[in-house]
Amino acid sequence: EAQVTQNPRYLITVTGKKLTVTCSQNMNHEYMSWYRQDPGLGLRQIYYSMNVEVTDKGDVPEGYKVSRKEKRNFPLILESPSPNQTSLYFCASSSWTGNTGELFFGEGSRLTVL
Amino acid sequence: EDKVVQSPLSLVVHEGDTVTLNCSYEVTNFRSLLWYKQEKKAPTFLFMLTSSGIEKKSGRLSSILDKKELFSILNITATQTGDSAIYLCAVPDPAGGTSYGKLTFGQGTILTVHP
């Protein structure tokens, strides 16, 4: 089954404790990206990757890091989480060569930073 | 900076009503506009629009783009309770000629359909 898998789905952590949210897709997609969703603000892009070893900042990259060492994985790293990073996070992927416009989303990771 | 604005931010209707959701945009390199539906989980793809005046339809949902006035509308006819969701529009700023690069979403419209 074609899917984007995020882990963990729910996490409560404390300020300053490094964490990684993993994202993996099994569709051989070139494009992957991370978003955070906060009430009233819609989805805001954090980082995106056009292909392996190619990443770029979205609208809200501060406090986050990413890496794309393999095509299927695109982890989101919070080196020193702060309470303002409490949010719902989505990973998404697409085969931009298909040009259909469909972005496949993971189920979301709800993060709380105390 | 690219900007995507949706209106209204929320809407409450009764089953059978017709609704129109709006999405206006200001982007540097326009290629396409996307509509998504988000229920309790991840957004799911509805439409991609690239050309003005060509309506996309899927059942009771339809959408059209006006590239001159820089907006799109999403219509839902004969609404049902299952249409209750957040509707998101998004505009990619394509990198190197591809579909995606930076992707800017609007705030979303929360639609509630009462029985």
pLDDT digits (tens, 9 = 90+) for B17-33: 999 999 999 987 788 89
Tell which B residues from 58 to 87 touch A, by Cβ distance under 8 Å: none
Which residues of chain A make contact with B45, given a CB cutoff of 8 A? Answer: 101-103
**CB of B106 less than 8 A from some CB of A:** yes
Distance CA B13, CA B15 (A): 7
Return the residue of A nearest to B98 by Cα: A96
**CB of B99 less than 8 A from some CB of A:** yes
Write the residue in B42, B99, B106 that is nearest to A96 by C-beta.
Answer: B99
Write the residue in B43, B101, B105 that is nearest to A48 by C-beta.
Answer: B101
Write the residue in B32, B41, B101 that is nearest to A107 by C-beta.
Answer: B41
- At residue B83, the pLDDT reads 97
pLDDT tens readout for residues A71-84: 999 999 999 999 99
- At residue A102, the pLDDT reads 79
Rounded mean pLDDT, B63-85: 95
Q: Mean pLDDT of all residues in chain B? A: 90
SS (H, E, C) B55-97: CEEECCEEEEEECCCCEEEEEECCCCHHHCEEEEEEEEEECCC
- At residue A39, the pLDDT reads 87
- At residue B7, the pLDDT reads 96
The contacts of residue A34 (CB under 8 Å, 6+ apart) are A23, A45, A46, A47, A48, A58, A64, A66, A74, A76, A89, A90, A91, A92
